[in-house]
Amino acid sequence: MSALTSPSPEQPGIAAAVAAAPHEPLIIAFLCNWCTYTGADLAGTSRIQYPPNVRVVRVMCSGAVDPLYILRPLLEGADGVLIGGCHSGDCHYVSGNYKARRRVAVVQSYLAQLGLEPERVWFRFISASEGRLFAETVTTMTETLARLGPNPLAREWTA
Ligand code: FES
């Protein structure tokens, strides 16, 4: 066996190194194609810095985000879910953003029963021209999730 394939007793393996690393929150973000997704793109093209903790899923409207889309990442160990939608009056499908905001409030009210903090799920109005707001939102959410600590449900999957 080579040193590359087998850690020596003095040298911890990859799993131990990963376990010892500081927790980095994982955010799953469902972003409306017409506003927040474009805002995130603007943040990138404007080279606005924000934490690399977010994984983006583009949707055609925040109103298309079913409550199960929010719960599933949390049940599978993500630390938080962000939904970004058009500002009031700007939804291309009239009221999808209002429906999304209501759904988030309902999901937040159930999270405690799963042993999760409601602060793990955010809804934000962010337009296509608000790249800086997107970056600030991801930064603040990452800090909030780091303060809350790892999703306790993640342990169920890694135990
Ligand atoms: S089209 Fe953007 S939230 Fe509905």
Q: Which fold has domain 24-158?
A: Rossmann fold (3.40.50)
- The DSSP string of 136-157 is HHHHHHHHHHHHH-S-HHHHHH
Calculate mean pLDDT across residues 91-100: 98
Q: How far is the CA of 78 from the centre of ligand 1 (A)?
A: 24
Atom in ligand 1 nearest the alpha carbon of residue 35: 2
pLDDT at 42 over 80: yes
Give CA separation, 83 vs 14, 49, 65, in Å. 33, 20, 8
94: left (phi over 0), alpha (psi -120 to 50) or beta: left
Please indicate whether residue 92, judged by its CB atom, sits closer than 6 Å to ligand 1: yes
Per-residue pLDDT averaged across 75-95, rounded?
96
**Above 60 in pLDDT, residue 159?**
no
Q: Where are the domains of the chain?
A: 24-158
pLDDT of 1: 44
Question: Does 32 contact ligand 1 (Cβ within 6 A)?
Answer: yes
State residue 118's pLDDT score: 97
